[in-house]
Structure 1
Amino acid sequence: MMEDKNINRLFQEKLKDFEVQPDPRIWSNIEEKLSKKKKRRVIPIWWFASGIASVVILGLFLFIQTPNENLDSNEIQKTKENPLNKYENIVTEETIKPIEKLEENTTKETTITTAKQTIQTKKKEKEFLMVEYKIASKNDSLQQSDDTVKGYTSDTKIAMEKSSKKSSKDTITEFKAKEKGLEKQRFMAEVEKVTKEETEVKEQKSRWSIAPVFGLVASNSFTKASAIDATLNQNKVSSRETLSYGVNIAYKINEKWSIRSGAQIQKVNLETQNVAIVSGIPFANNLTNIEFSGGDNLFFANTIESVNDLSTGSNSNIEEGNLQQEYSYIEFPLEATYHLFSSDKFETNIVSGFSTLVLNRNTISANSSNFNRNIGAANNLNTLNFSANLGLEFRMNISDNMKFHVNPMFKAQLNTFLEGTTNAQPYTIGVYSGLIFDF
C-alpha cells in the first residue's frame, strides 16, 4: 500500500484547481430576474434577518469546521487516516463563499436553492472522489502485496543465489582442502617410500659392523669361598681389576635384533689374604689344589695361631702373607642384541647370550714381606669353561658409519673348577667400550 503522504498528494493535486461552478441555469435565472422591472416591494427586515439567520444556522449545522491551515495534531492525524476529511473543509469553504456573494443580489429563496444545489454538487463530487479513493487504496494494497511478493521472491532468489554461491564456494574450498590433503598424503607417502628405500639400502650396506673392545673387569665369588683350597675359606678373598681387550663382529638381522660374536681376553685375579706361610720345615706343600713347582718347602695355614700349635722346628720361618691366583681365558661370546629405543644421537640395547672360555693362563704366587714367588698353578681349573652373559649397551652416533658404545656386562661362570675341589662360584663384572664401525 502506498504511504499516507502519497495519498494526500494525490488528492491535493486533484483538488488544487477545483472551483465551484454553479449550474448555468442559476445565472440565467438571476440575470432574467435582475433585468425585469419589478415593483419595489418593501421586505420586512425580520424576513431578511430570519433568512440570514437560517442560512448561518444551516451552514453551521452542515459545516461545523472551517478550513484551517494550522491543524492541530488530532486533525492532522485524522487527515492522514482519511484525506477526504480535508476535502470536507474545502467543500464547506467553497459553499459559503458563493452564498455570501448571492446574499447581496438575490432573494432568500434563490439563495437557499443555490446553496442546496451547490451542496448537492459537492456531495456528488465527494462521492466520486470516495470511489476514486477506494479504488486507489485497493490498487495501492494490491501494489504493495505485489511488491511484497516480488520483494519476497527477490529476497528468496538473492538468498538462494547467495546460498548457492556460498555452497559452491564451500564445495570448492572443501574440494581444494581435500585435494591439498591428498597431495600432502601423496607427498608424505613418496617421502616415506624414498626414506624407506634409502633406509633399506643403508641397512643392506651397513648390516655388518666391527668393534674393537676394551674393558675393565672385576672378579668375585658368590659363596666367598677360597678358590685355592677349602682350608682357607675363612680368609678374606679380594679381586684385583684386570683389563680385557678384543674385537667383536655384529650382524643386524632387522630393526630390533642383531647378533654379535668375536674374541677377547678375559683375566681373573683373586687374592686370598692373611695366610700364614711357613718355610724351612721338612713337611710342606699341604695345599692339594696347587701343583707346586721349584724346590721350596712351604706350609700354608689360615692363621699364624694355628701354626704355633704345630712342631715346626727351630729353623722354620713363619710369616703372614697373601696367595694370589691369576688365570685368564680366550673368550668367544655369542650374544643377541635387542633394540629398546633410540633417538637421533643415542641408542639403547639389551644384550644377552653366553661365552665359551678357553683357559690360556694359570699361576699362583705367594707374597710376604721377605719373599715374592711363583709357587705353581691351580690343578682344579677346567680348560673349557662357560659363562652366562647379560648387560646393556648404550650407543652414541658419531657419524653415519661410526658409533661409540659403552657396554656394562655381568658374566656368571658356570664350569670354572673341577667338581668337589672348591665351593667357589666365580663371576665377573666388566664395563666394555669402544668404537663401532658399520660396513
Structure 2
Amino acid sequence: MKEGKDIDKLFKDGLENPDLPFNDLDWDDLEERLHPKPKRRVIPVVWLAAAAAIAAMLLIVFLLVKPTEGPAGVNPLVKNSGRDKNKANPENNATKVTETHLKPNDPIVNTDPAGLVANKANRNPFVQRPVGKNVLSGTNTPKLVLVDADRANLLADMVYQPALHTEFDPVAFKDQKLIASVATGKPERIKQPVLNKKPRLVLSILAAPDLTSVQKSGMSSLSGGFGVEATYSLTKKLSITTGATYAKKIYDSDFSLYKPNSNYVFKIIPSNIHANCDVIDIPLNVNYKVFGNSRNSISVSTGLSSYLMLKEKYSYSYNGAYQGPQDYEVRGRNQHYLGIANVGVEFQHKINNNLSISAKPFMKIPLTDIGYGNSRLSSTGVAVSVNMNLFGKGN
C-alpha cells in the first residue's frame, strides 16, 4: 500500500511538473502536417527533349518541302546558271539572260511546238514560248529567251501560260464607233418632284397662372386660366397660333380707377373695388423660332387677343360707418375684339417626334379699357403646355 502511494505520488509530481525539452523542429513538423503545401509537378526532362526534337524535325521538313515557285499569275523568268563551253572569251564565263519580244509575223518565230525538240538537236540557243493572247489583237505573242540549248526542253515544260478572262470582248469594243453630239440651245430646267407635305399642326393643352392688375393701382391678384391652342407652321421658323382660354380675371383697385358706363351716382363714394370676372381669351399670335435643335427650341411671339366677358362681379368697400351698395353684377355685355396685345417667349422641349412640353412667360398689355369698369387691365404670367403633333413627324 505504501508502495502504491509512492507510485501515485510519482505520477502526480511528474504530471504537475513535466520536464519536457522544447524543440522548434517538432512544431514545424506538426504545422506542415496540419497545413501541407501543394507540390509542383515537375515536367520530366525526357518530355522536354522529345518536344524539342519533334519541333526540330517539323522545321527541317518545312524547309525541305517548301515550294520554290513564284506566286500565281506571274510569268517567271528562268535564268540559266550553266557555264558556257566557249571559254576563249572571258565575258562568256558569266551567264547572260536576254528576253526578246517578237511580232507574230517575224520570220524568226517558229510556231511549231516540234521546234522545241529540234532546237535541242540543232543546239539553237533561241527557245520559243507563248505567253498568252494579246488583249487588243487577240493573237498569241510569243517570246524568245536566250538560254542553253541543252535545257531547252526543261524550259519549255516550265512555261506558264495564264488564261486571260475578260467580261467584254476587246475586239468588239475596239470596233465600236463612238459618236458624241453637242447639245445646243437652253437646257431644260429640272423640275423638283412634287411631294405631298402634310400640314404641320400642333395642338396644345395649357394652364396659365398670372398676376392681374389695373394699371397705376399698385395691387396685383393671382388669376389664371386653362385652354386649348393650335399652332400651324408656315415655315421651319415661322408659325401662327390661335385658340381659346377660359380665364379668371381677379383684381383690386382704387375706386378712382373705376369708370363704369352708368348714370348711377354713389351717395357715399366707395374707397376700393374688388372685381371677379370670367373671360374667354382668344389669341392670334405670330411665332418666330430663334433657336432650335433636335430637342430644344426657343421662340418669340407677339399678337393680339380678344376678350369676351362672360360674367363680371364687382364688390365695393367703404371707409366710414355708412355702407352703400355692396356689389354689382354684369353678364355678357362687354366684348373687346383685338383689344389686348400679347408678348411672350416660349421654351420648348421635345420628348419625341409627336410630343413636347413648353413654358411660355407672357405679358398681356391692354390697348383699350376692359370690362364694365373700363379699367386698364394687364396680366403677367407663365403658360405651361403639353403639345401634340397631329400629323406625324414634325420638323
State the TM-score bracket (shorter-chain normalisation): 0.3 to 0.5
Higher helix share: 1
Provide TM-score, normalisation by structure 1: 0.38
Question: Which structure is richer in relative contact order (CA contacts within 8 A, separation 6 or more)?
Answer: 1
Higher Cα Rg, which structure: 1
TM-score with structure 2 setting the length:
0.42
